[in-house]
Amino acid sequence: MPFSKNILCIGAGYVGGPTMAMIAYKCPQYKVTVVDINPKRVAEWNSDDLPIYEPGLDEIVKSTRGSNLFFSTEIERGIKEAEIIFVSVNTPIKSYGVGAGMAADLQYWEKTASQIRNCAESHKIIVEKSTLPVKTALAMERILTSQENDTHFDVLSNPEFLAEGTAIKDLEDPDRVLIGSRETPSGVKARDELVEIYANWVSNERIITSNIWSSELSKLVANAFLSQRISSINSITALCEKTEANITEVAKAVGMDSRVGNKFLHASVGFGGSCFKKDILNLVYLCRHYGLDEVANYWEGVVRINEYQKERFVLNILSAMFNTLAGKKICLFGFAFKANTGDTRESPAIFIAKKLMKEKAEIVITDPEALNNARIDLDGIEGKISYIQDPYEASDGCHAIAVMTEWEVYTGLNFEKIYRSMVKPAFIFDGRNILDHKRLFNIGFNVFPIGKPPLTHF
Ligand code: UDX
Ligand code: UDX
């Protein structure tokens, strides 16, 4: 049976791979091809060992790959054949020149746009999947039409709101799908074509449309709002630690107001992940670009509090352990930026591991999925580090445990056994408030949660 649509995605990353796998899974009538410049990544997508860990992803890829889902490095051929092209290449923070450390680096984006222009022989709908500064679609349109060429392109914005660790659930049952388009007849027609794809499994009231700039901006603002909630609660943990208030009780009391809601109010050692910091800094950069310094300063505060929270965590460890960590062994429980992923991009654990090593502590890292990435992140850092999968073995002989990631497996460990194997006095710094602190204290640990009075035997 011939396919009714040819869909291409450029960029087989955390976003492109799972999103396209879901479209292929829900729409057997479409042919979905994912291309990437990185042949190793493509080979991994074609193997039994997928390049990313995401619950439920393996099953979906296995049931569609080779039938209507294909991974390939043949970008030019993919462009020629497709009617709809999703672009999901990475847009990291610029590390050089104007806007370094703040603005999005759009070099891959622009290269991809030029490549589409050079290869396309017929009308294409180009869908921005990556998170981008508002008005990027305009630049995209300019690049696509910059050559004498009869080919017509429609650019849409369709930001992805999936969170790692729950990507499959988020894709299958999204809160909303947002599609932004030009309000021209051709733009609206392109938009309707994309709506039709999602309508295969998402109900109509959850597919919302808007003008293209609102759509681009909404993604940045959504991430800014989410991270602002975390920084808000984290800022209050510092005050709780001074006043004997308990952050869990405060968050519960505040979150039960239905106008506030209880999600994204979990105090933590700080937020990580590839998106939050990058997107807020992008928003800040845009505001400054338009001369809106007050607005920029407001949002920049969210990142500043996050840095402060990570710094504070290390200072708390240092002061609790008698102001010296030299030669002490500290075990990091978790290295991923959140549970249920092997991703460590911008993980607070990276910052904390480096700071602890600056204090000459010896670090032992344990994580169910992220040890390979941890090795890459800490490659070349001076100091003693080991990587041990088993948490019992990892904490054996350590002076302290610091919980970095809220992996559920840590809540079910035999802490009596762990306590016996550690150097005394033994410390636990719970950077995620996931453990039973009273119980740990009764076992003998000195317990330092986030935003709650410590429980110590001194
Ligand atoms: C990406 C963007 O980083 C982010 O801004 C956006 O919000 C969603 O898409 P992610 O999928 O997590 O996020 O990025 P990554 O896992 O780094 O994947 C990007 C892929 O694009 C990589 O596999 C890379 O090899 C590929 N790529 C990059 C290309 O195929 N062509 C390029 O020119 C550049
Ligand atoms: C985020 C957005 O949620 C998603 O919509 C967007 O598409 C990409 O960015 P992600 O970064 O994958 O997704 O994970 P998320 O669950 O948002 O967590 C981000 C960070 O915040 C993690 O480090 C997490 O541990 C932390 N966090 C989250 C908290 O510290 N407290 C909370 O209450 C929630």
Q: How many angstroms does the Cα of residue 163 sit away from the middle of ligand 2? A: 7
- Per-residue confidence band for 134, with pLDDT thresholds at 50, 70 and 90: confident
Q: Which of 193, 179, 146 is nearest to 6 (CA)?
A: 193
Nearest CA to 343 among 399, 274, 275? 274
Counting ligands in written order, the one closest to the CA of 112 is 1
Mean pLDDT of 157-183: 96
CA 79/CA 9 separation, integer angstroms: 9
- Look up residue 410 and give its DSSP letter: G
pTM: 0.94
Q: What band does 137 get if pLDDT is binned at 50, 70 and 90?
A: confident
pLDDT digits (tens, 9 = 90+) for 260-288: 999 999 999 999 999 999 999 999 999 99
In the predicted model, what is the mean pLDDT of the chain?
96
Closest ligand 1 atom to 12 CA: 23
Q: What is the mean pLDDT of residues 5-23?
A: 97
Please give the single-letter amino acid code of residue 186: S
Phi-psi region of 273 (alpha: psi -120 to 50; beta: other; left: phi over 0): left
Protein residue whose Cα sits closest to atom 17 of ligand 2: 163
Percent of the chain at pLDDT exceeding 70: 100
pLDDT tens for each residue of 211-229: 999 999 999 999 999 999 9
Nearest residue (CA) to ligand 1, atom 30:
36
Per-position DSSP letters for 281-316, written without gaps between them:
HHHHHHHHHTT-HHHHHHHHHHHHHHHHHHHHHHHH
Mean pLDDT for the stretch of residues 63-71:
98
Other beta carbons within 10 angstroms of residue 356's beta carbon come to 23
Among the options 9, 27, 240, 275, which is catalytic?
275
Cis peptide before 449 (omega within 30 of 0): no
The tokens for 189 are: 């027609």
- Among 185, 178, 247, which residue's Cα sits nearest to residue 213? 178
| Predicted local confidence at residue 309, as pLDDT | 98
Of 81-90, 127-136, 252-261, 280-289, the range with the lowest mean pLDDT is 127-136
Of the candidates 136, 215, 131, the residue with the CA atom closest to the CA atom of residue 180: 215
Contacts of 297 (CB under 8 A, 6+ apart): none
- Cα of 113 from ligand 1 centre, angstroms: 14
User: Ligand 1 pocket check: which of 46, 90, 344 to mutate, most ligand atoms within 8 Å of Cβ?
Assistant: 90
Least confident residue range of 150-154, 324-328, 373-377: 150-154
Contact 224, 295 (CB under 8 A): no
Say how far apart CA 317 and CA 357 lie, in whole Å: 13
Which atom of ligand 2 is nearest the CA belonging to 167?
A: 12
pLDDT for 356: 98
DSSP-assigned states of every residue in 81-118: H-SEEEE-----B--SSTTTTTSB--HHHHHHHHHHHH
Q: Is the pLDDT of residue 82 over 90?
A: yes
Q: How far apart are CA 375 and CA 26, in angstroms?
A: 37
Q: How far apart are alpha carbons 250 and 272 in whole angstroms?
A: 23
* For residues 372-382, average pLDDT: 96
Question: pLDDT over 90 for what percent of the chain?
Answer: 90
For residue 275, indicate whether it is catalytic.
yes
Q: Kindly report the number of other CB atoms within 10 A of residue 291's CB atom.
A: 8
Residue with tokens 């204290």: 441
Amino acid letter, residue 177 = V
pLDDT tens digit sequence for 384-434: 999 999 999 999 999 999 999 999 999 999 999 999 999 999 999 999 999
Confidence label for 133 from pLDDT (cuts 50, 70 and 90): confident
Q: Which residues, listed in sequence order, are joined to residue 210 by a DSSP beta bridge?
A: 180
- State whether the beta carbon of 112 lies less than 6 angstroms from ligand 1: yes
88 Cβ below 6 A of ligand 1:
yes
Q: Which ligand is nearest to the CA of 78?
A: 1
- 278 ligand 2 Cβ < 6 A: no
Rounded-to-integer distance, Cα 287 and Cα 295, Å: 7
Give residue 131's pLDDT: 85
CA distance 265 to 228: 10
What is the full DSSP assignment across 34-56? EE-S-HHHHHHHTSSS-SS--TT
- Tokens 């920029």 correspond to what residue? 296
Give the Cα-Cα-Cα angle 353, 358, 359 (nearest 5 degrees).
100
Phi-psi region of 433 (alpha: psi -120 to 50; beta: other; left: phi over 0): left
Mean pLDDT of 147-160: 88
Contact predicate 371/335, CB 8 Å? yes
Closest CA to 325 of 257, 427, 250: 427
Residue 291 CA to ligand 1 centre (angstroms): 30
Question: For position 145, what pLDDT does the model report?
Answer: 85
Q: Is 334 in the pocket of ligand 2 (CB under 6 A)?
A: no
How far is 287 from 264, CA to CA, in rounded Å? Answer: 25
